[in-house]
Amino acid sequence: MKRIPALDGWRGIAILLVLIDHARAALHLDQGAGASTGPHGVTLFFVLSGFLITSRLNFELQSSGTINLRRFYKQRFFRLMPAAWLYLWFAFLIAMLTPNRLNGAINCAAALLLFT
C-alpha cells in the first residue's frame, strides 16, 4: 500500500486541535460560543483513521482476494498497545506523586483493565 505523507500532517493537525482545547480548559481560558476545537480534532482523527484502516483492508482484499482479520488485529494490537501501556505507566507514576494516590491508582487500574 502506498504511503500518503499528507495524511500524517492532517493527523498532526487533528491532535493539535485536541491539545489546544485541553490547554484552554487547563488554563481556564474563555472559549466563547463555538470555539471548542477538541471535538473537531477527534472527528478528523477518527475519519482519517477509518480511511487508512479501510484502505489497508481493501488493498489486502485486492492483492490476496481475502482479508485476514486475525493478522490485522494482531498487528494493530502490537502497534498501539506498547504506547498505551507506556502512557499508563507515566500516568500511574504521576498519580503516585499526587496527594490523592489511591484514586489515581484506581483510575490507572481501571484504564488498564478496561472497567469504570
Q: How many domains does the chain have?
A: 2
Of 50-54, 58-62, 63-67, 106-110, which range is least confident?
A: 106-110
One domain for residues 11 and 62: yes
The dihedral region occupied by 66, where left means phi > 0, alpha psi between -120 and 50, and beta the remainder, is beta
All cell numbers assigned to 44: 478528523
One domain for residues 80 and 33: no
* Domain end marker among 31, 48, 67: 67
One domain for residues 46 and 13: yes
One domain for residues 60 and 23: yes
With 70 as the cut, is the pLDDT of residue 26 above it?
A: yes
One domain for residues 114 and 76: yes
One domain for residues 1 and 57: yes
Question: How many other CB atoms are there within 10 angstroms of residue 37's CB atom?
Answer: 17
Q: What pLDDT is stored for residue 40 in this prediction?
A: 94
- pLDDT tens-digit series, residues 57-104: 999 999 999 999 999 999 999 999 999 889 888 888 888 888 877 787
Q: Provide the domain limits for residue 78.
A: 68-116
